[in-house]
Amino acid sequence: MSRPPNREFQEWWNKQRATDHDLLGDKSDGSTRSFLTVDIQTVPSDRESVEKERARSARQLSWVCLLRFQQIASFLAWLSNGFLSLLRTANRRIASPDSLSDSKSSRLYRVIKVFLVVVLLLLVFELVAYFKGWHFSPPTARADVYGMIGLIYAKWLEIRADYLAPPLQSLTNMCIVLFLVQSIDRVILILGCCWIKLRGLKPVASMEYPTNAKNDDVNVEDYPMVLVQIPMCNEREVYQQSIAAVCILDWPKDRMLVQVLDDSDEVDVQHLIMAEVQKWQQRGVRILYRHRLIRTGYKAGNLKSAMNCDYVQEYEFVAIFDADFQPAPDFLKRTIPHFKGRDDLALVQARWAFVNRDENLLTRLQNINLSFHFEVEQQVNGVFINFFGFNGTAGVWRIKALEESGGWLERTTVEDMDIAVRAHLCGWKFVFLNDVKCLCELPETYEAYKKQQHRWHSGPMQLFRLCFVDILRSKVSWLKKANLIFLFFLLRKLILPFYSFTLFCIILPLTMFLPEAELPTWVVCYVPGVMSILSILPCLQAFPFIVPYLLFENTMSVTKFNAMISGLFRFGSSYEWVVTKKLGRSSETDLVAFEKESEPLMRSNSLHRSSSDSGIEELSKLELSKKAGKRKKNRLYRKELALAFILLTASVRSLLSAQGVHFYFLLFQGISFLVIGLDLIGEQVS
């Protein structure tokens, strides 16, 4: 049966065709248009459509403006929160009674304070002139128009141009010359390092010891007697790992004696170290514990006292490791062979490697600096002139060379450099092994790093003052004398901190207020940038930190300059010997490895392990003593803060005179001084 047609749909369709016939049929003007044709029209002339379009555009513009305002408000909120956090941190540290680290009697700090007051007054004066429209040039109208301020400003410009700028320009030119000389020295060192790499130059020993050899296969007569010394003082965090690393050295046990030279004045630390020594004695290691009641001469006195023992005469070599150093088991087998057949060789120095180089920004920047020191300075000097400064640890000395050079002396805080210079003047030679590395720890707090740098830069000036006449009277060649005086001491120990601090912390801010004295842009930006790139070449993985490294080195110039001056003129702070604080980052994991290495020692000696042999008891005591120790706090560094405000003030003056490169350098350098002055770099200890 057929379905009836749908009349309702037919009627609706006819009605739609009648209403919208222009969509499918002919138009009244006779023209035809397809259903798929699209008309593109201009802006309608109808008034209502125009008003709607305007209203929609206005709403869109308001939404865009609101979005921009929200972004600006978020940025300002973030900036204000950061600034308030910085102020709270500064206020908290200022309120702390022991937050200030600088001595009130610091001569350099008093000079910097006066300098800060002067630049602030100059900035106020220049701002007044700027807003009066003088734009840092003398008023051209009559004096009665500008009054007394105009007369004073015109007179100031005259004094500035005729009397202040010429001596400042002379000082600037002198520092630029020193800067270029030091840069040339650094380029020569880099070229020497490249030559060593290209030619494959490195010290080669005349013999090799077998590795992993059994005791039955070893002829002990081929192994010289070696004394191993570990000087330490209150090394609560690292004593276990250093003693363990030395005790498992791959060397016949009856041909090696370990001396633990403890200068600790904390009784609990003494007991912990004695217990550790007794533990290794039970395992068959020849190890002795020595403690001095009177700590005279610091590390030099400690080593001197140990070398005066009668049994030392039985030994031919002495290896020295500071408390945080962990030599590899084959350390002696890779260093002692270089003495074979070379009776004029006094020292074999190994390179340092750092277990905590990626711990924070401070350790990363230190790693860059020390990598250049070992990879470039020590290696080039060792290969080409057989002399470099002893690093105080991770080295093996011929005892005969120590005795003939006068032994350890207590006259400076750099006893390692002292004995190296005296041995060099006696004709002894040195070897640096860049491929033999000894693990150690970098200072993780700025306070510890600053004290270390103060000692490292004041001691050389003490030594230079004491041994200058001895260098001139020595029998070495004039070339070696010139190298010691002009390169080793003057250029790298005196000139470098002098021009770095004077040029970038004093002269550069002054040239903003005395524009007649000019500091070229290439001195401020380009040459330091190139030198930073060269310095980072031995540590390419740290390339992203090249800008912080440049700023940090300039910031540290105030500490190095102050140390250099105090050492040169024998100020009291130059004789302070402060033990660098260690944190023992890797002590627990290394203890497990050392315990595994020591198991063959126990089996070979058929000893029973006591409850304390595993080190658990000592480790628990160590943790308890850490918790019970004095809580450290971050500090404020007033010299750095004062210099931060000086540089930021100079950056404002540079901005007014539209000096782009100088402004950015002063701004970022001032911020870096501010960060370090508030102790916001490195490990935050409280």
Catalytic center residues? 263, 416
Q: Are 607 and 660 in contact (CB under 8 A)?
A: no
Distances 371 to 377, 486, 542 between C-alpha atoms, Å: 9, 23, 11
Using DSSP's 3-state secondary structure scheme, residue 658 falls into coil
What is the DSSP code string of 569-597? TT-GGGG---PPP---TTHHHHHHHHHHH
CA dist., res. 261 & res. 267, Å (int): 15
Query: CB of 336 within 8 A of CB of 317?
Result: yes
What HEC string does 73-116 produce?
A: HHHHHHHHHHHHHHHHHHHHHHHCCCCECCCCCCHHHHHHHHHH
Is 439 within 8 Å of 353 (Cβ atoms)?
yes
Provide CB contacts within 8 A for 22, sequence distance 6+: 33
CA angle (478, 483, 489) in 5-degree steps: 130
The pair of three-digit structure tokens given for residue 457, joined into one six-digit string: 């830069």
Half-sphere exposure in the Cβ direction for 436 (13 Å, CA): 25
Strands (E), 477-589: none
What does the alpha-carbon distance between residue 360 and residue 362 come to, in Å, rounded to a whole number? 6
DSSP string for 36-66: T------S---HHHHHHHHHHHHHHHHHHHH
**Residue 45 contacts by C-beta under 8 Å, 6 or more apart in sequence?**
none
Counting Cβ atoms within 10 Å, is residue 57 exposed (0-12), middle (13-18) or buried (19+)? exposed
Query: What secondary structure does DSSP assign to 325-380, as a single string?
Result: -B--TTHHHHHGGGGTT-TTEEEEEEEEEETTTTSSHHHHHHHHHHHHIIIIIIHH
Cβ-contact 351, 437 below 8 angstroms: yes
Rounded to an integer, what distance in angstroms lies between the CA atom of residue 77 and that of residue 614? 55
Beta-carbon count within 10 A of 148 CB: 8
